[in-house]
Amino acid sequence: MSERLFAALDALPGDRMLLTGNGQTRTAAALRLDVDCLAQRLQQFNSKVLALLADNGPPWVTADLAALKAGVVHLPLPGFFNDAQLRHALESTAADLLLTDQSVRIVGLGLGFREIGRWDGLSLLKREVAPAKLPAGTAKISFTSGSTGQPKGVCLSAAGLLDTAEAVCAALADLPIDRHLSVLPLALLLENIAGVYAPLLRGAEIVLPKLADLGWRGMGGFDPLQLAKQVETTQPASLILVPELLKAWTQTLHTDNRSAPASLQFVAVGGARCDAQLIGHARTVGLPAYEGYGLTECGSVVSLNRPGADLSGSVGRPLRHVRMRVDVGREIRIESRAFLGYLKAESAESGEFKTGDLGHLNAAGFLQLSGRRKNLIITAYGRNVAPEWVEAALLAQPKIAQALVAGEARPWLAAMLVPAPGVEPSGLVNAVARANATLPDYAQIGDWLVCPPFTVANGMATGNGRQVRAAILHRHAAALESLYSPKESRHAVL
């Protein structure tokens, strides 16, 4: 249970620096005091669900720990959610207390929140609302990344979340990680568990800059130069990236003929499929990148490559807190203590969780993914192709920034490609050819569209960079159809 985390914090020397960022610091003693004070305040309010909508920083971590200690359900709200998604999350959870640096936005949702005070630079808002029915033992409600208008709320147990953090900590115990830089939004479960709880368990310092200082530009994308600057300044030993950020940073270092700081011991990569070529390219510029795999329903990380146990093209061996198997249909099934059920649904059945991911465990126990069951493409020749596999090969090419593959019931595959900045559409010809050279003939790209970027603003990407497949296919349906019509010219530019 959560007592394990607080026991680890209590055992640390009082002067151990644990949190830094935005001009604030928290030693172990200060963090313990702040957590206790806020936990008492939350209990006085008799709050059932505390929502938190705020930028990365020490207050976010303090509030998260205080909710855990007080036994109050925590609802982390991603800043990239639109107003409809925020309203859905707050209404479906019946959140009655909220800490935020965006109070005007919250009041404007018309849900009855009113400001009742301030805490550590954040506004404290409250409302009267009938509590929602939640699975027993719910400690955190984590919403999926927003690939639909109303993402699912996943109810998670404290025991399962701590299982994950302890497993990550144990898997990396022999690495000299004394400082972690939080690059992803803390509202994402991956950063929350592997980037906060796991470092705290080992007494490591967590550096927490504002997201804008790390290069996040909201709907404007991501600036890898800012990330490089932060890493140079803070000299972390570890951080967590999604593949798109790894690619952008790798390209920046390669273009500038520079290497990553020697302080880096481990760069975890997760959140989406990552091609082995990209991992290899990152390592050539000094980024010790290792791919992992996880799901919100399983408490985030479930498998991880690491130094000494690293297989190219895999997502590592399952960690100790999960039981994993692959069924006869090649679907990965996982059992853990984290998942309690979805909001407004029956509680999760005990036993295995069907992930919807396809793959296999090799003889050495490494998990190799092939794609999502629901995304599987069956060509006109009856060949099954996981689009994520082909997309990863395309994204390994420096000239391709984004890619999405289609071809259901078609004789060959087509792609929607976004060129990297400064790359002309004609420059994609060789990039596609190089990707095709790594693929069997039935999985090669026969033609493609050159598209504008897939962004949060146009509804074709989530806030953490994951592409919204259905929206992209719908937006470009007519242009895709034209690729399969007889024509003389190819490679349309939209």
Reported as a single tens digit per residue, the pLDDT across 318-370 is 999 999 999 988 899 999 999 999 997 765 655 789 998 989 999 999 999 98
Question: What confidence score (pLDDT) does residue 372 get?
Answer: 82
Same domain, 340 and 383: no
Same domain, 227 and 328: yes
Number of domains in the chain: 2
Using pLDDT thresholds of 50, 70 and 90, give the confidence band for residue 491: low
Same domain, 276 and 202: yes
Question: What confidence score (pLDDT) does residue 457 get?
Answer: 81
Residue 124 predicted with pLDDT over 70: yes
Same domain, 483 and 358: no
How many helices (H) and strands (E) the chain has is answered by 15, 27
Residue 438 predicted with pLDDT over 50: yes
Residue 4 predicted with pLDDT over 80: yes
CATH number at residue 58: 3.40.50.12780
Residue 99 predicted with pLDDT over 60: yes
Same domain, 281 and 381: no
Q: In what order do the strands lie in the sheet with 445-450?
A: 400-406, 413-419, 445-450, 492-493
Q: Provide mean pLDDT across the span 382-398.
A: 88
DSSP string over 47-103: -SEEEEE--SSHHHHHHHHHHHHHT-EEEE--TT--HHHHHHHHHHHT--EEEES-H
Residue 218 predicted with pLDDT over 90: no
Last residue of a domain, one of 343, 368, 393: 368
Same domain, 108 and 184: yes
- Kindly report the CA angle at 126 between 125 and 127, in degrees rounded to 5? 140
Same domain, 166 and 230: yes
Question: What confidence score (pLDDT) does residue 59 get?
Answer: 98
pTM of the shown model = 0.85
Question: What confidence score (pLDDT) does residue 302 get?
Answer: 97
Question: What confidence score (pLDDT) does residue 478 get?
Answer: 92
Last residue of a domain, one of 315, 339, 368: 368
Same domain, 59 and 96: yes
DSSP string over 178-193: -EEE--S-TTSHHHHI
Domain, as residue range, for 419: 376-493
Last residue of a domain, one of 333, 368, 403: 368
Same domain, 174 and 276: yes
Residue 72 predicted with pLDDT over 70: yes
CATH number at residue 395: 3.30.300.30
Same domain, 115 and 18: yes
